[in-house]
Chains A and B, each alone.
Chain A
């Protein structure tokens, strides 16, 4: 089998990735998890073999993070990524030293395969492509009759050079810029779990029923669930907070849908959608209408471009380029605090429908998607849909699951059947 990556190959971090090494800490791991639940228990030997093949197809995953004089960079990792049994809480900081220098890791438990990725190397869409290839080779090596049907990237097809590009640069327009200044958002607080713990609560909803429910409100699934999440925050707060404070949900946008790109690196942005506590009792229909209006007015190619261009401008700024790495890291950390975590209460990231070839579908039960949390944002929500099931996952470091409770109770009250699963195996807390 040919190696498709020269060992001298190196990559600059993409525009979004430059942020992550600066803010990295055990309390802000910047890791997301994509899980595939198969219908049979995982065979670890075959999974390892599948990973060994898959990594050759994804040169931007086959890297280690190195310090330069002015910036971090990725260089080819000549070691092999090793799978492991799931033995720690989800979405923890990936320590490259314990992971053959890789910035992603594959673990397994019973019939579930987890791919956890440091956000510096890719976003959810890029990670999903890797996981799909991994599952394809896993099933193929198991002797199953599976075809790619043009939906899986394999070693047989030539990798498009566009896959490794920084698409933020391709669509950069220095003349189109807008301010990133925004009002600070309300932040959830409460007693927390231990530092290395993360609670996952998955709510499984039949996709068809959820889509029909959203349609009945003339909304998309993301708009509907965002409104439900805002309502959940209002229920939990119960009039305790300052009425002028605003709850803001950060909704990541896959830029590939607006700016055509094949990149497997980060190429996503976000819009913040919010409502003040003062308007908590205006009713769900009005709240959903507000969400729809805000999302439609923000998700416009020109507006998104104007908000993402300043990041590229900063990156290209000659004066900033020659600032030594450590000083630059400290600056980025401070800027992130001002235009990052402070501006939203919680994320709601919808990966959409995960389509797999028909030949592979019978072996797959469903996919799950989970996000890590940070000190300022201790709760995040992530959604994906597969095999007719929408998996809505809350990751939280808070002891109380009050937002999750309110969220799923609102959905249940809206007559949606919900099945809850969690990584909490023990009894009452």
Chain B
């Protein structure tokens, strides 16, 4: 036990200076107090290489996008080719950046990537000839692939299945686009979108048949009803 004469308090800490005024302490009893708190390592977390690399890539992305935009506008040849470059960079971030960042729900990541890629391909299609290949073939098949992947998660990862359940609800909502494609005849041939619409119907009925109560509870939770 020690004493600080300036503060007139006893001090029971492994230090030679008063925690209050920083003045030297006087020893008043040789009884050795066990340490009260651990010595905390003060090493600051060094930013990972990935963080640094991510910053470099972010700067490169901005530079590339800006340069392409300036060149595109300065030497205008009737095509907005800098848009697919910018879109491509965004899609690259979605496909590579999101998984590397971590911490995001796998299903939401898949949906974000799917929507990103679909929009990007629609953009390219519309800029270069508007032949409708994206809306006719790529988008519906991409939708089917993601829906099947998430459905497999629901079956395989039962422990966390509530998370996937809500993702399926989101997929069912996105699947409405296929019906709109068929209804307004946006695609060149209807069958790929019919397959996607069928997948959507299967998801909806699958949810209603296999997990009606769970589904209701999950929706109540998410919407705070």
Query: Residues of A at under 8 Å CB distance from B?
Result: 8, 10, 12, 66, 68-71, 73, 75, 78, 85-89, 97, 109-112, 194, 196-197, 199-201, 203-204, 321, 401, 404-405, 408-409, 412-413, 417-429
Query: Residues of B at under 8 Å CB distance from A?
Result: 1, 4, 7-22, 34-42, 44, 103, 159, 162, 214, 217, 221-224
Residues of B within 8 A of A413 (CB): 8
> Which residue of chain A lies nearest to B15 when distances are taken between CB atoms in the complex?
A427
Once bound together, how far apart are the Cα atoms of A353 and B140, in whole Å?
A: 66
Instruction: Tell me which of B9, B22, B37, B217 contacts A408 (CB under 8 A).
Output: B9
Once bound together, how far apart are the Cα atoms of A426 and B35, in whole Å?
A: 11
A424 and B13: CB pair below 8 A?
A: yes
Q: How far is the CB of B180 from chain A (nearest CB, A)?
A: 23
Residues of B within 8 A of A419 (CB): 1, 9-12
Instruction: Tell me which of A201, A321, A409 contacts B8 (CB under 8 A).
Output: A409
> Which residue of chain B lies nearest to A10 when distances are taken between CB atoms in the complex?
B221
Q: A86-B37, A97-B103 are in contact. Are A421 and B13 (CB under 8 A)?
A: yes
Once bound together, how far apart are the Cα atoms of A359 and B43, in whole Å?
A: 43
Instruction: Tell me which of A110, A196, A420, A428 contacts B20 (CB under 8 A).
Output: A420
Instruction: Tell me which of B15, B22, B44, B103 contacts A425 (CB under 8 A).
Output: B15
Q: A69-B223, A70-B224, A427-B16 are in contact. Are A420 and B44 (CB under 8 A)?
A: no
Instruction: Tell me which of A12, A87, A109, A204 contacts B224 (CB under 8 A).
Output: A12
B224 and A71: CB pair below 8 A?
A: yes
Q: A68-B222, A73-B221 are in contact. Are A420 and B38 (CB under 8 A)?
A: no
Once bound together, how far apart are the Cα atoms of A201 and B22, in whole Å?
A: 13
> 24 A–B contact pairs at CB < 8 A?
A12-B224, A68-B221, A70-B223, A75-B221, A86-B38, A110-B36, A111-B34, A194-B42, A194-B44, A200-B37, A201-B19, A405-B7, A409-B8, A412-B8, A413-B8, A418-B9, A419-B9, A420-B20, A421-B36, A422-B19, A424-B13, A425-B14, A428-B22, A429-B22
> Which residue of chain A lies nearest to B102 when distances are taken between CB atoms in the complex?
A97
Give the most central of A68, A78, A197: most B CB within 10 Å.
A68
Give the most central of B9, B11, B40, B223: most A CB within 10 Å.
B9
